[in-house]
Every structure is written in C-alpha cells, then in structure tokens.
C-alpha cells in the first residue's frame, strides 16, 4: 500500500517521536511506499526512511485552526498534494493535519482512506486556552467533524478516546487506541552518551530530571516550586532538558531564589537519554497529556518516574501507581512530598526502576508499529496494495 503521512510541526516532541518511530519501524513489505508531507524543518529531524517528500511550507499556511476560511484554503491546497501523491491512505498526525487529510481527500474526490491521529486532549486545550463562544463552536465543529468523517481515528490512551467520544461525538467503532511504543535497545545504547551541561552541578546531591517543551501547559512552574521547597529538607539538583517560550521566566524564577548552582537548563537535546539515565528521579508535570512519552523514555532508561495525575496519559502509562508514582495535579505540597518520599527510600526507587523497565518492554515499538499496520491493512483491500 501507499501511505502519506501529513505532519505540520516544526519542532520535535512526543507526536514527532511517533512519526519518527513509524518511519523507522513500519514493515515495508506491508507499507511499500511512504510519502512524508511536512515542513522542511521537521524533515531534518526525522529519519530518512521515506520514499518521497513534499515540503508543505509553500502550500499549507497554518498549523492550527485559525478560522474557517483558512481551514478551507489549506484543505484545498492539501487536496492538490493528495492528487499528486496518490496514496492509498493518508495519516494526519495531530488535530489540524487530520482535518486537512479528511477535508482534502473529499475535495480531491479520490478513493483515499483517511486516518486521523489525535495525540492529545483537545477539549482540555480548548477549555484552558481558547476563548469566545464562536471560537469554541468552530473548534468543536472542526475537531468533531474530522473525527466523525475519518475512516479511523488513532489515539494514544483510553482517556483521550473517551474525550473524543464524549466531548466531540466521535465514533467508538472507528476509534482505535494504540499506546506509544519505544525501542528499548536503541535507548539503552543512546543513554551511554555524554550529558553536557551537568558537569557544573554538585555531584554529591541527588539529581532530578525533566524533559519537555518549556511552555505553559507543561506546568514546569509547579515542578520548580516543589524543587524550591525540597531544598530545606532534601537538597537536590535538577536538569531541565528542552526549550520553549517559558524558558526565560523559569530561569528568572530560579535566579530569584538563588538556586542557579543547583539547576541546569541544558536546552533542546537531540539525545535526551543520557540526562534521564543519570537522574535519580524523573519528574513529569503537565496540565493535560494524551500519553506522556518522556515518562516511557525515562522508564526505558531505568529511571523511576513520578508524575502529576493530569488528563489522561500519566495514569495509563504508570498504571495506577504500579510502574511509577502518581500525585495530584496542581498541588505543590503533594509533588514535594512525593519526591521527598522517593528520595528517602532508595529501595522503593530501585523497585520502581525495574518495574518501569518492564513497562517499557511491554510498550515496545514493534507492538505499536504492528497495530498501525493492522489499521492500515484493514482499510486497504489486498488488490490495492502496490
């Protein structure tokens, strides 16, 4: 079959990791031809495993639902890309590309099957960051309409699937939950590399780590507040891996507290695993999360994980405290106490590290890729496989 992946991001995060894993691990005896349609910036961050590439920058002007007019304009441009590529299946990664895949296919009037992949909880984003009745009605119509018109919708967690059905009236029968997967062997190898930027931190203190885009929804302010409170009773250091619009504010907060010598902002790193592996504890905070891929990465590195119980991914990845420790969200006292309890009990950390590695083996990348292939094969009759 011929597959086109439409992905409009320009930075690398959890959804981009899923695209990268698919490009690397799809069975090419099943998916014989892959076209990647994305901005050039994303192409440079992904493995060179596609058969064709379409630079979307000259054609698709937006990456989110700005207005009905912009959506229609981008959908028409997408239809031209689809007429040129002639895939059997188009996979739209994230909400806006999924909408373009569905609308573009219908405008092109080609027998192309559409698969949308919503990686995070859209309702939670709309509730917090989108304002105005007309704006919210438009977003609900666009996201819900995409979910109802697509041949399949793939989401990474049961919570995201429930949100799609309850909040956007998505089809239960056409919604498929496929948890993210990880390549444990590759992680183990990559984790042995150096971790530049940590050399200035005191080596005699336990190290905490977080890897995330430094944006408001990641709730890193909560982590920093818990870290500040810990210093009186449990002195520790912190590695912050990632970049984003909140970096200046977060660095300023650490400076105001006089904790610069205990925190390393190392910026975006192509290889995050050495930082995770060197940490005594990985801390995940977020206001909402479809899956929370960095938790799985830390588990694969053998690092115990503590996470805030946000909608929806952490509870499913950690498994109701089986593979890590969950604490209430938006509660600095609870996060502080949770970190302190794990720092006080090395045996508990070791047990969670071992259980986390077992969880990472369970959520293998081979399992994830096979489930995507099954969805594609179900939609594509054998006589259309080229």
pLDDT in tens, 22-40: 999 999 999 999 999 999 9
225-235 average pLDDT score: 98
Percent of the chain with pLDDT over 70: 99
Q: All domains of the chain, ordered by start, with CATH?
A: 2-181+365-384 (3.40.50.2000), 184-362 (3.40.50.2000)
Whether the pLDDT of residue 382 is over 80: the answer is no
347-369 average pLDDT score: 97
Q: How confident is the model at residue 386 (pLDDT cuts 50, 70, 90)?
A: very low
**What is the per-residue pLDDT across 93-145, written as a single tens digit (0 to 9) for each?**
999 999 999 999 999 899 999 999 999 999 999 999 999 999 999 999 999 99
**What is the per-residue pLDDT across 46-77, written as a single tens digit (0 to 9) for each?**
988 899 999 999 999 999 999 999 999 999 99
**Structure tokens given for 27:** 């069975």
Residue 347: what pLDDT?
A: 98
Whether the pLDDT of residue 243 is over 50: the answer is yes
**What is the per-residue pLDDT across 158-196, written as a single tens digit (0 to 9) for each?**
999 999 999 999 999 999 999 999 999 999 999 999 999
pTM of the model: 0.94
Mean pLDDT of the chain: 96
d(CA 308, CA 331): 9
Long-range pairs, 27-33, Cβ under 8 A, ≥24: 27/369, 27/370, 27/373, 30/1, 30/373, 30/376, 30/377, 31/1, 31/3, 31/373, 31/376, 32/1, 32/2, 32/385, 32/386, 33/1, 33/2, 33/3, 33/87, 33/386
Who's near 135: CB < 8 A, 6+ residues apart? none
Residue 76: what pLDDT?
A: 97
């Amino acid at each position: 079959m011929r597959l086109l992946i439409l992905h409009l991001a320009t930075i690398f995060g959890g959804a981009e990791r899923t695209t990268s894993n698919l490009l690397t691990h799809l069975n090419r005896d099943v998916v014989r031809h892959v076209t990647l349609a994305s901005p050039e910036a994303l192409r440079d961050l992904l493995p060179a495993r596609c058969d064709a590439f379409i630079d979307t920058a000259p054609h698709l002007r937006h990456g989110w639902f700005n207005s009905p007019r912009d959506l229609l304009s981008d959908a028409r441009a997408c239809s031209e890309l689809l007429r040129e590529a002639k895939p059997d299946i188009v996979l739209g990664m994230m909400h806006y590309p999924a909408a373009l895949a569905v609308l573009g296919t219908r405008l092109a009037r080609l027998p192309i099957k559409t698969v949308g992949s919503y990686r995070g909880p859209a309702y939670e984003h709309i509730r917090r960051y989108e304002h105005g009745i007309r704006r919210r009605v438009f977003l609900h119509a666009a996201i819900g309409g995409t979910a109802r018109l697509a041949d399949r919708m793939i989401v990474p967690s049961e919570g995201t699937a429930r949100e799609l059905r309850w909040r956007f009236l998505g089809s239960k029968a056409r919604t498929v939950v496929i948890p993210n997967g990880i390549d444990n062997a590759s992680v183990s190898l990559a984790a042995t590399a150096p971790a530049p930027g940590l050399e200035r931190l005191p080596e005699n203190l336990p190290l905490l780590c977080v890897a995330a885009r430094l944006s408001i929804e990641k709730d890193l302010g909560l982590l920093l507040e818990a870290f500040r409170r810990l210093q009186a009773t449990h002195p520790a250091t912190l590695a912050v891996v990632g970049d984003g619009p909140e970096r200046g504010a977060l660095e300023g907060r650490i400076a105001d507290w006089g904790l610069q010598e205990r925190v390393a902002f190392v910026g975006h790193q192509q290889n995050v695993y050495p930082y995770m592996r060197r940490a005594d504890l990985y801390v995940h905070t977020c206001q909402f999360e479809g899956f929370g891929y960095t938790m799985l990465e830390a588990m694969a590195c053998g690092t115990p994980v503590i996470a805030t119980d946000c909608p929806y991914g952490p509870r499913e990845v950690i498994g109701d405290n089986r593979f890590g420790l969950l604490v209430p969200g938006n509660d600095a006292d609870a996060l502080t106490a949770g970190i302190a309890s794990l720092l006080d009990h090395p045996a508990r950390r070791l047990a969670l590290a071992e259980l986390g590695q077992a969880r990472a083996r369970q959520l293998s990348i081979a399992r994830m890729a096979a489930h995507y292939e099954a969805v594609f094969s179900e939609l594509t009759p054998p006589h259309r496989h080229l």
